[in-house]
Amino acid sequence: MLLTLNLGDNQNIGTTNGKIALDCSVRKTRQGHVCISTTDFFFPLVDSPYLQGRIGAANVLSDLYAEGVGECDFMLMLLAACRDMTQEDREICTREMVRGFNDACLEGGTVVTGGQTVLNPWPVIGGVATSICREGEYVKSNGAEVGDVVVLTKPLGTQVAVNVHEWRVRNTPRWTELSSKQILSKEETEDMMHAAVCSMARLNRHGGSIMVKHHAHAGTDVTGFGILGHAQNLMDNQALEVGMEIHTLPCIANTIKVEESGVMDFKLREGYSAETSGGLMICMPEGDAVNYCRELEELDGGEPCWIIGRVVADVERKACILENVTIVEVEAKC
């Protein structure tokens, strides 16, 4: 549908034929700088409005960081207060969402300078993040080369963890099936949700800030399309005829067990399970990737990242998960 509406002017930087971008709008300003901007918003997926606000900000900033930018110059906040709450509940929920959003922005070295507020059936928070750069201070998203490896900076499985947590809280038939088959205990479920929240709330700032230093060729972040969906979008955007083979899937501990239980197919192993505020997926030379992972783990306080695949020659530009993919179970460190 959007293709029929003549959006854009084919002047975006770092995208195939200058089309509308993957994660950000990257444009040259009239003054000769580069303006990188992005927008996103976050519906309630967690119990805490403070964490909803924090994850909402992390989600917006992640697109900016995927361009190899570690600094956001300013943030506009998009806020929807819940019209169906009592006035007291609405004020508490909205205040906490804004507080969480602002705290994440301050941690990211940026500031909320304005925005817009509406009433809505659900409380929603998001924003517009902008960075002004010079050439060489960001990574164009279309430079992947044959021989590059692919780095992932956060584990997969947030959708699985959030849904199973909700099943348990609501005591749904799916939770009854999981527990009766002894697939997952209550404690394992809470650990899984805790790991997901820690991951979603953690900024990708460090990962973005060292991409240029370690000669990254292209990057994106893993969110609603799942890892394979975003991998395919990234390959479709490359200047060269390349594809991606994914050989490793790092997943939050026990999420694969849920996937394999048959209770519900999240398509986690197939690469299509949606992620919220997921990790950066970056193409870079192998030697640089090893050093990148080492430095990022130090900056992120020991949080691991992984080399999960490689860029290969492919005229069809296909991304795929190999049949003998390695599953890595990732325990929470926070």
**Please, what is the average pLDDT of the chain?**
94
Average pLDDT (259-272) is 94
Average pLDDT of span 5-12: 76
Residue 10 predicted with pLDDT over 90: no
Helix (H, G, I), strand (E, B) or coil at 61: helix
Q: What is the pLDDT of residue 333?
A: 81
Contacts 24+ apart (CB under 8 A), 186-193: 188/254, 189/164, 189/165, 190/165, 191/253, 191/254, 191/332, 192/157, 192/160, 192/161, 192/164, 192/165, 192/252, 192/253, 192/254, 192/255, 193/161, 193/162, 193/164, 193/165
The pLDDT tens digits for 278-306 are 999 999 999 999 999 999 999 999 999 99
Q: Are 145 and 217 in contact (CB under 8 A)?
A: yes
Whether residue 264 contacts residue 161, with contact meaning beta carbons closer than 8 Å, is answered with: no
Residue-wise pLDDT tens digits, 307-325: 999 999 999 999 999 999 9
For the chain, the 3-state helix, strand and coil shares in percent, each to the nearest 5, are 35, 25, 40
Q: Considering the entire predicted model, what is its pTM? A: 0.94
Query: What pLDDT, on a 0 to 100 scale, did the predictor assign at position 3?
Result: 65
Q: What is the dihedral of CA 233, 234, 237, 238, to 10 degrees?
A: -150
Indicate if the pLDDT at residue 165 is higher than 70. Answer: yes
Is pLDDT of 18 > 90?
no
Quick: pLDDT tens for 97-123: 999 999 999 999 999 999 999 999 999
Among residues 156, 143, 153, 154, the alpha carbon closest in space to that of 284 is found at 143
In the block, tokens 């959030």 appear at 162
Predicted confidence band of residue 44 (pLDDT cuts 50, 70, 90): confident
Instruction: Pick left, alpha or beta for residue 257 (phi over 0 → left; psi -120 to 50 → alpha; otherwise beta).
Output: alpha
Which of 129 and 9 is assigned the larger pLDDT? 129
**Residues 229, 156: contact at Cβ < 8 Å?**
no
- Cα–Cα nearest to 132, from 80, 183, 174, 72: 72
- In contact, 311 and 243? CB cutoff 8 Å: yes
* Integer Cα distance of 325 and 311 in angstroms: 16
Q: Which amino acid is at 25?
A: S
